[in-house]
Structure 1
Amino acid sequence: MANGGGSPVEVPGLEGFPGKVMHASEYRSAVGMKGKSVLVVGCGNSGMEIALDLAEGGAITSIVVRSELHILTKRILNLGVTLGFYLPIWMIDKVVLLLCYLVFGDTSKHGLRRPAIGPFAWKDELQDGGELIGGDGILKQRSPKAENGLYYAGLSGRGIFGSGMDAEFIAGDISKQLQTVPGQAHGNPEH
């Protein structure tokens, strides 16, 4: 399995590898992988979901992780979000990191180092969207399309449901734009 997200990566010596190599976009299920050794490159959302699916399907699954990362269960993440209504971020991170240690132990023994900054402070740091995104990580505007033409999915504060609505809006808006571009109407591939 090569590269959990983005575009395929050139890996020196890969042409001599006798096994199957595929991009995450080609992955469908763990059917036929039981008992086979599989390496997932990358620990983004796609890589982690594929690795979990493979492990649950009986594959001997390993993941290559390039940088530090936080590993949280859904329960711990949800608890942290709930605590966000009552506690400052630094305190939430302390509670969340303690719970993660109790659940996963010292992940650095397995080559999975945690960032120095906690997961909620890290998320808060990433959310500095200036004029578009507020300090709470929520879009300051109603539409998932900014004036500069960028789209923002999943920042509406409505969870998975909101992300789905954003994705539908974005797909519809792009489709509408393609239909109004001269030469692009009706799927004309010549332009």
Structure 2
Amino acid sequence: MSSKAKRFWTPGPVIVGAGPSGLAAAACLKERGVPSLIIEKESCLASLWKLKIYDHLQLHLPKKFCQLPYVPFPREYPAYPSGQQFITYMEAYANHFEIEPLLGQEVQWAKYDAAMGRWRVKTHEYEFMCRWLIVATGENEVPVLPKIAGISEFRGRLLHTSTYKNGVEFRASKVLVVGCGNSGMEISFDLCKNGAQVSLVVRDKVHILPKKILGRSSFAISVWLLKWFPVDVVDRFLLFCSRLVLGDTKQIGIQRPKMGPLQWKNSVGKTPVLDDGAFAKIKSGEIKVVPGIQKFTAKGAEFVNRTVKEFDSIILATGYRSNVSSWLKEASLFNQKNNNNPQDSYPKNWKGKNGVYSVGFARQGVLGISMDAHKVADDIASQWNSETRHLWLDS
């Protein structure tokens, strides 16, 4: 092949990312008669789910809030599908809409050519020319590795949750989990069930809510109540129920933010933890809560309260971030100051200038993905010229 990339003119949008966001965008466009091309850097669709989730992962929300546009989950799926079931669902979804991503094409840069009135999207093999560009790489693209003093000195096993699979290999070992979000809590619970001695770092304030209230999903109840009551009223109800079900989290070293859980999510972007068993292990002392880390040592960690403990393994449940601004040469939609997320928050997060859009950055889970996909597809369909045809241009 020539050292120069081949140019490919595509009449419809180029979608970057073949996860749930990219699939939803492509499906919504297809339903409106607009063709699209998905490019994906990995060798498979839904790569985050296929390559980086732990074995026992379940969706945090009921399946009706996690389905992609037009296609519900199979009726035989449980209320909270497993990660593997969600992967199977996405594969069937792509087949249903005949979506065939172009795999193994990592975007090097994407920029708008004002003279041409087109986006230029460059991978190592191709340069795609398109009128519209949809960023669907998601908020969880790159693992976040915290900069904590002494982290390189630790001689035990150090890993991020992106490479954690299950707790079997940690049986009878001392494990420190850094991060108390949903992933940190769930992995701590999994480790505990597999016989590990688990300590969980709780550095910041966090809201923990029961996954279910009176047998119903806490999230579903919140969505229903928000139709009738303001956020602060719903927050008070959730905290009242949480105290009844879980008790006072402060007594075991977990402080709640002053804001209610929904206000906290809307203002700060942090999702409340939906407890599925870890909290009982914390109350019983099987999972030890420890404060923030002052520094790592060769054998473990020193905490901010000056205590020092030894660990065989440290698991960083420190989340992910987007990397969009590293390749998207356009500042009106994404920027580094907002952790590579859209500058405007939900519900204005989905559209930028010159035909650039985002799907999956609303911090609203899969439900937000579906809302974004419909908005983006509607906007592009209103501009669509049905006479446009594909054109190859060899450079």
Give TM-score, length-normalised by structure 2.
Answer: 0.33
| 2:42 is equivalent to residue 42 of structure 1 | no
Q: Does 1:24 align with 2:161?
A: yes
User: In the alignment, what sits opposite 2:194?
Assistant: 57
Structure 1 residues 45-74: Cα deviation after superposition (integer angstroms, max 9, x where no partner): 432332233233332322112211101122
The 8 Å contact of residues 236 and 260 in structure 2, kept in 1 or not, is answered as yes
Name the stretch that deviates more: 40-49 or 115-124: 40-49
Give the 3-state SS of the residue equivalent to 1:108 in structure 2: helix
Q: Which residue of the partner structure matches residue 265 of structure 2?
A: 123
CA distance in 1, matches of 2:160, 2:370: 24
Mean alpha-carbon deviation: is it higher for 79-88 or for 93-102? 79-88
Report the Cα distance in structure 1 between the residues aligned to 2:229 and 2:371, rounded to whole angstroms. Answer: 30
Distance of 1:96 and 1:165 partners within structure 2 = 25
Q: Compute the displacement of 1:156 (Å).
A: 9.2
SS of match in other structure, 1:9: coil
Partner residue of 1:160 out of 366, 378, 385: 366
Shift of 1:82: 2.0
In the alignment, structure 1 segments of 5+ residues that lack a partner are 168-191
Aligned residue in 2 for 1:77: 219
Change over 3 Å in CA distance of 1:102–1:24 after alignment to 2: same
- Mapped to 2, the partners of 1:151 and 1:28 lie a distance apart of 30
The structure with the largest alpha-carbon Rg is 2
SS at match of 2:158: coil
Structure 2 contact 143–160 (Cα < 8 Å) conserved: no
**Taking every aligned residue pair, what percent have the same amino acid on both sides?**
36
Please tell me whether the aligned partners of residues 154 and 160 of structure 1 are also in contact (alpha carbons under 8 angstroms). no
Mind listing any 5+ residue stretches in structure 2 that lack a counterpart? 1-141, 213-217, 270-341, 374-395
Deviation at 1:161, TM superposition (A): 6.2
**Structure in which a larger fraction of residues adopt helix:** 1
Structure 2: distance between partners of 1:113 and 1:74? 19
Instruction: Please tell me whether the aligned partners of residues 33 and 54 of structure 1 are also in contact (alpha carbons under 8 angstroms).
Output: yes
1:151 matched residue in structure 2: 358
Partners of 2:261 and 2:368 lie apart in 1 by 22
Q: How many angstroms apart in 1 are the aligned matches of 2:367 and 2:231? A: 25
After superposition, the CA RMSD in angstroms is: 3.6
Q: Deviations over 1:147-190 (max 9, x none)?
A: 26573416497x636648979xxxxxxxxxxxxxxxxxxxxxxx
2:234 aligned with 1:92 = yes
C-alpha contact (below 8 Å) 2:350/2:372 kept by paired residues:
no
Q: Choose between structure 1 and 2: higher strand proportion.
A: 2
Question: Contact (CA 8 Å) 2:176, 2:200: kept in 1 or not?
Answer: yes
Compare relative contact order (CA 8 Å, sep 6+) and give the higher one, 1 or 2: 2
What is the match of residue 249 of structure 2?
A: 107
